[in-house]
Amino acid sequence: MARELQLMKGNEAIARAMIASGTDGYFGYPITPQSEVMETLMAEKPWETTGMTVLQAESEVASINMVYGGAATGKKVATSSSSPGISLMQEGLTYLAGAEIPCLVVNVMRGGPGLGTIQPSQSDYFQSTKGGGHGDYQLYTLAPASVQEMYDFVFDAWDIAFKYRNPVLILSDGAIGQCMEKLYTRDYIPRWTEEERRKNAPWGTWGKPATRDHNIITSLELDSARQEVFNHKLQAKYAEMKEKEVRYEMLNCEDADYIIVAYGSSSRIAMKAMQMAREKGIKVGLFRLITLFPFPTKQLAEVAAHVKGILCVEMSAGQMSEDRALRPLRRYHPHSRRGPGGS
């Protein structure tokens, strides 16, 4: 399918982007407000067109472990869920990070704690950007602010995931997942051929030919010295991401007296507030975070040094504004405004 203008929901965009980006498999479990992802996939029947596998698992614990198994054969495998389901997936995610398996996980956040609410929220920020499960690991975390970005970030996720052999998280929320917007689709990227898989994932467990040693996918290391070496290697990988893969957007920041820092659907509200302020002659700019890990600390600090005030806007009780990654800003601006989401 060529580039085309369409109207669709954020969740549907995720599903269609998975098909269009050559994803090999999707495993999921229903939960509001993201159930349309699997529903769209099931209705589209990509196994008849691109050959993509889609399966409804018995739980999120099963679906993330299906991602583990499938992705460890060197294929593009994804899942999606919302906050309570993502909590259940944390063990699987730390295994994926520990075994360095590329994959895509989408979280369409809702309010918590506990069963919480099905309204949008951004209160999984810490869980998403500080590992989430046990151990020292990071997910590359993208925060879409539109239906278009829901779609585009799926394509970007595969590049990053395989480049770094690391899970990628698209951290969305109920507002972006449920809202309908216009969207430009992209040309289909065919699923990898057998040769491409073997070239792009030489570490994959796709059946040991006589010409190589057996491939092993594991996060186990009984020798603590070797585990330490491995952890340094992981940290070096995350440092490289911080160096090379930070993404953000600056709107009206050049002449701004004040800037708003926000991501996802909060940044949409912030954008409107910025426009209203500008109409009144108040010079407000918007620093929109696109990657939450790696966080654009350096870039934000440069802007912060030249403004009178900063407003952090998010649908959580201050998780992003409390983030260590924002610490350099405190030097200039010690105050932040907080309000929990899901209401």
Partner 1 sequence: MNQDIEARKQELLKEGYEEVYTRTKVLTDAVMHYCPGCGHGTTHRLIAEVIDEMGIQDNVVGVSPVGCSVLAYNYFDVDFQEAAHGRAPAVATAIKRLNPDTFVFTYQGDGDLAAIGTAETIHAANRGENMTMIFVNNGIYGMTGGQMAPTTLVGMRSATTPYGRRVDLNGYPLRMTELLSTLPGTYYVTRQSVQNPAAVRKAKAAIRKAFENQRR
Contacts with partner 1, residue ranges (CB under 8 A): 24-25, 27, 53, 55, 57-59, 61-63, 65-73, 75, 77, 91-92, 95, 99, 205-210, 214-220
Phi first, then psi, for residue 287 (nearest 5°) are -105, 105
Q: Show the DSSP H helices in 1-59 as ranges.
A: 10-20, 36-44
**Which residues are CB-contacts of 45 (< 8 A; sequence separation ≥ 6)?**
none
Q: Which residue has the tokens 């957007």?
A: 249
Structure tokens at 19: 């098909």
| Shortest Cβ 174–partner 1 spacing (Å) | 27
Q: Shortest Cβ distance from residue 58 to partner 1 (Å)?
A: 4
The residue among 213 and 255 lying less far from partner 1, judged by its C-beta, is 213
In whole angstroms, the minimum distance from the beta carbon of 146 to partner 1 comes to 31
With tokens 């052999």, the residue in question is 165
Q: Give the containing element (helix H, strand E) for 276.
A: helix 264-279
**What does the CA dihedral 242, 245, 251, 254 come to, rounded to 10 degrees?**
60
Question: Which residue, among 254, 290, 288, has the nearest Cα to 271 in the 3D structure?
Answer: 288
Q: Minimum distance from CB of 15 to partner 1 (Å)? A: 18
Q: Which is nearer to partner 1, 166 or 172 (CB)?
A: 166
| Shortest distance, position 112 Cβ to partner 1, whole Å | 24
- Token duo for residue 160: 């990053």
Helix axis angle, 224-244 to 147-164, nearest 10°: 140
- How is the beta sheet containing 140-142 ordered, strand by strand? 53-56, 25-28, 77-81, 103-109, 167-173, 140-142, 291-293
CB of 93 or CB of 259, closer to partner 1: 93
Shortest Å distance, C-beta 45 to partner 1: 15
Minimum gap (Å) between residue 129 Cβ and partner 1:
23
Contact 326, 104 (CB under 8 A): no
Cβ nearer to partner 1, comparing 136 with 240: 136
| DSSP bridge partners of 120 | 110
**89/320 with CB nearer partner 1:** 89
